[in-house]
């Protein structure tokens, strides 16, 4: 089925911008990114859009479609009625560069902040041995494609620009969880880091990150909440603190 | 135009989606679905439930059916001299309660605390009562936000202690359910009330076991599952229940209400208990 759809696409930059109307052809099986490309090819040659794989694997084409953070390449046009207006805007939590392209460097800054995997002492590279049951939990978080949709939808930074300094965002809290749950990571201060440097206490577990993740990672249930519990072990549990003090054991 | 309006109905988005470097879009959200239904429904249901519990416990009435030993979970354990002597299974710890004071006063704060600090209910009331956020990608109406980093919300970290308290209360509820296998002549008996109480207890255990703190304590805190096969097994089971934690949170609210309402109706004579055996 081919029909003409009504699109509104945000055009502009940091100086200002607006939602611009386009009437554009839609064919059977197309996704939102196809339509954006058609607008670019036929009506607005200077429309800026970031994309790469068109297969939901590179995480470049993140935008907001009808107000919902989504991968444009994975959003089928059949999600919307033929007579429905489809509004496409850039991610609203990050500074806009031009049109649908935003500056996501906040995320890279937060990624650099995390101490890398610490190799176990006395085990040579190549000698690492792990049981499947021990790595399973970490593996879920490795599915992340860094589309930053979770970062975009997280109200901690989306609604409060001033929290960006203190809060690393869901994507990097699951990175912390991934390393803390890693059977061979030698560091034992990941939970403290999550609290003191990544601001895990800012998250109020309202689960929007989980709702938008295109990889269906259970960010809140399997990553952030377990990390919050680990933080509680070390920082908010008087009984455990007493136990540690008596036995002089770390964690 | 960036939206800087603080007054009126328009929320202040200047610190968030309306801040200067972001794409200038005045709307607080461009979502076209009915995103407000979920928070509105949650708000209404939680308020109604609390209102019901408040009225029922403050009334101090129709909480016990002596004939079949049905004791409402809202009044258990019943430790006051105001309580029917037959319902005082654990003795009399307090004198008479003044009017409006719930008979379950000793444990109700712990039960309330357990649910208030529960990771699911936190999500539910942060969204529906505090609108922080009301729904995903819908700007919240607050200008500043510190999450759970400051008092009082930092106390949410004590959830595990409420979890331990909840285990004790669940044991008491289990005791009550066993006691409810009580016939008219004092011997063994089963009525619809017994079945309701048992079902309620099973659900309460499922809710308690599916708790995130439970999941952590039972095995989640380990780094090497392979060294603790039993705890790993338990963790797997709890994890499976944990994915249903939200559903269990709501089902147990319903089952508590049904149990109390049924006992209330039988105790006040509005309903005759359906007896299956004795
Ligand atoms: S659950 Fe926490 S990290 Fe995820 S979106 Fe909500 S506040 Fe942000
Ligand atoms: S966790 Fe999910 S939503 Fe967040 S960046 Fe990774 S893939 Fe995207
Ligand atoms: S273009 Fe790669 S995820 Fe959409
Ligand atoms: S009871 Fe809900 S998380 Fe513990």
Domain ranges of chain B: 1-30, 37-277
Fold of A105-247: Fumarate Reductase Iron-sulfur Protein; Chain B, domain 2 (1.10.1060)
pLDDT of amino acid A68: 98
Q: What is the pLDDT of residue B2?
A: 38
The residue whose two tokens read 């609108």 is: B131
Give per-residue pLDDT as tens, B12-48.
Answer: 788 999 999 999 999 999 999 999 999 999 999 999 9
Contact B226 A229 (CB under 8 A): no
Query: For the packed helices B229-242 and B245-267, what is the interaxial angle rounded to 10 degrees?
Result: 70
> How many Å lie between the centroid of ligand 1 and the Cα of residue A224?
8
pLDDT of residue B11: 55
Distance from the CA of B144 to the center of ligand 1, in angstroms?
Answer: 16
In whole angstroms, give the CA distance from residue B39 to residue B73. Answer: 28
Q: What integer best gives the mean pLDDT of chain B?
A: 94
pLDDT for res A227: 98
Q: Each residue of B200-236: pLDDT tens digit? A: 999 999 999 999 999 999 999 999 999 999 999 999 9
Q: In this complex, do A161 and B16 lie within 8 Å of one another by their Cβ atoms?
A: yes
DSSP string, chain A: --EEEEEEEEEEETTEEEEEEEEEEE-TT-BHHHHHHHHHHHT-TT-----S-SSSSS---EEEETTEEEEGGG-BGGGS-TTSEEEEE--TTS-EEETTEE--HHHHHHHHHSPPP-PPTT--TT-----HHHHHHHHHHHT-----HHHHH-HHHHS-GGGTTT---HHHHHHHHHHHT-TT---S-HHHHHHHTS-GGG-----HHHHH-TT---IIIIIIHHHHHHHIIIII-HHHHHHHHHHT---
3-state secondary structure of B162: helix
Rg (chain A; Cα; Å)? 22
Chain B residues whose beta carbon lies within 8 Å of the beta carbon of residue A17: 23-24
Of B20, B23, B136, the CB nearest to A208: B136
Given an 8 Å threshold on Cβ–Cβ distance, is A19 in contact with B224? no
CB-CB under 8 Å, A211 with B136: yes
% residues pLDDT > 70 (chain B) = 96
With cut-offs at 50, 70 and 90, classify the pLDDT of residue B256. Answer: very high
- Measure A235 CA to nearest chain B CA, in Å: 9
Min Cα–Cα distance to chain B from A127, Å: 18
pLDDT tens sequence for chain A (251 residues): 899 999 999 999 999 999 999 999 999 999 999 999 999 999 999 999 999 999 999 999 999 999 999 999 999 999 999 999 999 999 999 999 999 999 999 999 999 999 999 999 999 989 999 999 999 999 999 999 999 999 999 999 999 999 999 999 999 999 999 999 999 999 999 999 999 999 999 999 999 999 999 999 999 999 999 999 999 999 999 898 888 888 876 54
Q: Check if B79 contacts A (Cβ < 8 Å).
A: no
CB B91 within 8 A of CB B79: yes
Residue A139, ligand 1, Cβ within 6 A: no
Distance (angstroms) between ligand 2 centre and the Cα of A147 equals 5
Tell me the whole-structure pTM to 2 decimals: 0.95
Q: Is 70 exceeded by the pLDDT of residue B8? A: no
Q: Which ligand is nearest to the CA of B126?
A: 1
Size of interface A-B (CB pairs under 8 A): 163
CATH class of the structural domain A3-102 = alpha beta
Do the chains contact at B225 and A131, CB–CB below 8 Å? Answer: yes
**CA pair distance A200, B189, nearest whole angstrom:** 53
Of B23, B148, B225, the CB nearest to A92: B23
Segment B89-98, tens digit of pLDDT:
999 999 999 9
C-alpha A25/C-alpha B191 separation (Å) is 66
For ligand 2, mutation pick of A64, A144, A219, A221 (most atoms within 8 Å of CB): A144
B162 touches ligand 4 (CB under 6 Å): no
Confirm if A77 and A83 have CB atoms less than 8 A apart.
no
- Chain position carrying tokens 């959003």: A75
């Amino acid at each position: 089925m081919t029909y003409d759809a009504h699109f509104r696409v945000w055009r502009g930059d940091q100086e200002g911008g607006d939602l611009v109307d386009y009437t554009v052809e839609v064919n059977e099986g197309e996704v939102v990114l196809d339509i954006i490309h058609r607008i670019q090819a036929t009506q607005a040659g200077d429309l800026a859009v970031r994309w790469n794989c068109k297969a939901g694997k590179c995480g470049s084409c993140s935008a907001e479609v009808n107000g919902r953070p989504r991968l444009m390449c994975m959003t089928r046009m059949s999600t919307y009625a033929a007579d429905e207006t489809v509004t496409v805007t850039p991610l609203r939590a990050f500074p806009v560069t031009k049109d649908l392209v935003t500056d996501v460097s906040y995320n890279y800054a937060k990624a650099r902040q995390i101490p890398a995997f610490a190799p176990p002492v006395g085990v040579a590279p190549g000698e690492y041995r792990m049981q499947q049951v021990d790595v399973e939990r970490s593996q879920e978080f490795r599915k992340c494609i860094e589309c930053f949709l979770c970062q975009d939808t997280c109200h901690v930074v989306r609604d409060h620009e001033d929290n960006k300094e203190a809060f690393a965002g869901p994507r990097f809290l699951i990175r912390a969880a991934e390393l803390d749950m890693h059977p061979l990571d030698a560091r034992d201060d990941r939970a403290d880091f999550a609290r003191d440097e990544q601001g895990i206490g800012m998250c109020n577990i309202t689960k929007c990150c989980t709702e938008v993740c295109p990889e269906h990672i259970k960010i809140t249930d399997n990553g952030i909440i377990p990390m919050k519990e680990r933080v509680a072990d070390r920082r908010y549990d008087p009984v455990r603190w007493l136990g540690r003090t008596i036995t002089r054991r770390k964690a | 135009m960036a939206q800087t309006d603080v007054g009126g109905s328009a929320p202040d988005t200047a610190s968030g989606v309306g801040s200067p470097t972001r794409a200038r879009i005045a709307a607080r959200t461009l979502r076209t679905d009915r995103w407000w239904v979920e928070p509105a429904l949650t708000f209404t249901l939680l308020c109604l439930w609390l209102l019901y519990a408040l009225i029922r416990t403050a009334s101090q009435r129709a909480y016990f059916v002596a004939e079949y030993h049905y004791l409402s979970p809202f009044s258990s354990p019943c430790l006051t001299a105001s309580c029917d002597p037959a319902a005082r299974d654990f003795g009399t710890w307090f004198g008479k309660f003044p009017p409006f004071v719930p008979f379950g006063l000793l444990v109700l704060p712990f039960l309330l605390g357990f649910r208030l600090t529960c990771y699911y209910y936190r999500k539910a009331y942060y969204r529906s009562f505090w609108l922080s956020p009301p729904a995903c990608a819908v700007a919240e109406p607050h200008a500043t936000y510190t999450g759970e980093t400051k008092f009082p919300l930092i106390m949410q970290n004590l959830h595990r202690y409420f979890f331990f308290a909840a285990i004790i209360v669940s044991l008491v509820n289990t005791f009550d359910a066993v006691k409810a296998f009580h016939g008219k002549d004092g011997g063994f008996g089963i009525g619809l009330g017994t079945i309701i109480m048992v079902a309620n207890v099973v659900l309460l255990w499922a809710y308690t076991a599916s708790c995130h703190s439970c999941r952590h304590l039972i095995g989640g805190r380990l780094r090497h599952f392979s060294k603790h096969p039993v705890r790993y097994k338990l963790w797997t089971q709890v994890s499976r229940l944990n994915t249903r934690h939200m559903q269990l949170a709501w089902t147990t609210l319903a089952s508590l209400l049904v149990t109390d309402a049924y006992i209330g109706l039988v105790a006040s004579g509005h309903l005759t208990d359906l007896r299956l055996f004795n």
